[in-house]
Amino acid sequence: MKHWLSKILFFLFIALHTAQADPLPSWNAGAAKEAIVEFVEKTTRQGSPDFVPEPERIAVFDNDGTLWPENPMPFQLAFTIDELKRRLPDETNWNDDPTVTAALSGDLPTLMADNYKGLFHIIELVASGLTTEDFAERVRAWFSTARHPRFERPYDQLAYQPMLEVLTHLRANGFKTFIVSGGGSEFMRTFTEKTYGIPPEQVVGSTTRVVYELRDEGPVLVKTMDGLFIDDRSGKPAGIQQFIGRRPIAAFGNSDGDLQMLEYTTISNPRPSLGMIVHHTDSGREYAYDSNPKSTGKLVQTLADASKRGWIVIDMKNDWATIFGP
């Protein structure tokens, strides 16, 4: 018994040691990388004063601007505009909709005004009346053909490699990773599992009501424009409570839409906690913006609060050796 047990332990040791050599190879050495590695170490090591039981290891991630780009516009908006164009010949009443006109003429400020009111309106418009399956089918079709205008890749191949490593490192250490994003839940669920390894039930997003119908071909859920829940700003802690029901111990965001999620995760949390902000500082490899973004992603208050709150700012240009995967 002793002989084979020692062999197993030896191989386990080698395996673990190899895997843990550098869990974040796309990160340059620095405070941000250290903060992640140390947080995971101290919350998962048995006997550590900061040990957190596995069920409480909840980590939440904003999506647009945190796990992948949100320029030149959020990818769901790019999808929505393409859908408006594709369906406009059949949906003649859309011609009278000023929000549609704004979208088709690329008038982002109008769509973003009043807490993204116009943006959510057109997002709902291209989904309303569809079954959730038909909607997901259209999203998948779009991802399979559309290309990002600058990076010339399918949009779902633009996840930030350093953030994929964070997701993997957290999960390898018993963390459950969730998306908590202003994006539409059903839009995001078409790619989160493949792109981030995050299953649909760990996606918290903006939603409208769906209505159940038992049709001849089987049961369906039909998307409506009613009961909009916007999972942004104060909506993020509310969404976390409604969907997860447990306070996260780690939160990653990149904009003022993530302020309250970072507060909720880190202020007066009886558990040790980690708040991190992806700061877009790399116009060469990605984009550089904070106070004056071209679309979404304004980062002013959250950045101003960072030192007071102990949130770690990730400087994309200096902290990330690689931006996108191969």
Q: With contact defined as beta carbons under 8 Å apart, do 301 and 308 qualify?
A: no
Contact code string over 61-100 relative to a second copy, x by CB under 8 A:
----------------------------------------
Q: Does 168 bind a second copy (CB under 8 A)?
A: no
Q: How buried is 320 (Cβ within 10 angstroms: 0-12 exposed, 13-18 middle, 19+ buried)?
A: buried
Identity of the residue, 3 or 17, whose beta carbon is nearer to a second copy in the bound complex:
3
Is the bond preceding 72 in cis, omega lying within 30 degrees of 0? Answer: yes
Q: Does 258 bind a second copy (CB under 8 A)?
A: no
Q: Does 305 bind a second copy (CB under 8 A)?
A: no
Single residue of 96, 144, 212, 307 touching a second copy by CB under 8 A: 212
Q: Does 140 bind a second copy (CB under 8 A)?
A: no
Shortest gap between Cβ of 223 and a second copy (angstroms)?
10
Q: Does 53 bind a second copy (CB under 8 A)?
A: no
Total interface residues for a second copy by CB under 8 A: 45
Shortest gap between Cβ of 173 and a second copy (angstroms)?
17
Q: Does 211 bind a second copy (CB under 8 A)?
A: yes
Q: Which residues contact 280 (CB under 8 A, 6 or more apart)?
A: 65, 254, 286, 287, 288, 289, 290, 297, 299, 316
Which span (27-35, 40-48, 148-156, 264-272) binds a second copy, by CB under 8 A? Answer: 264-272
Q: Kindly identify the residues of this chain, within the stretch 188-207, that bind a second copy according to CB under 8 A.
A: 189, 193, 199-203, 207
Residues of the shown chain interacting with a second copy in the complex, contacts defined by CB under 8 A: 3-4, 7-8, 55, 58, 132, 176, 178, 185-186, 189, 193, 199-203, 207, 209-212, 214, 217-219, 221, 227, 234-235, 237-238, 241-246, 260, 263-264, 267-269
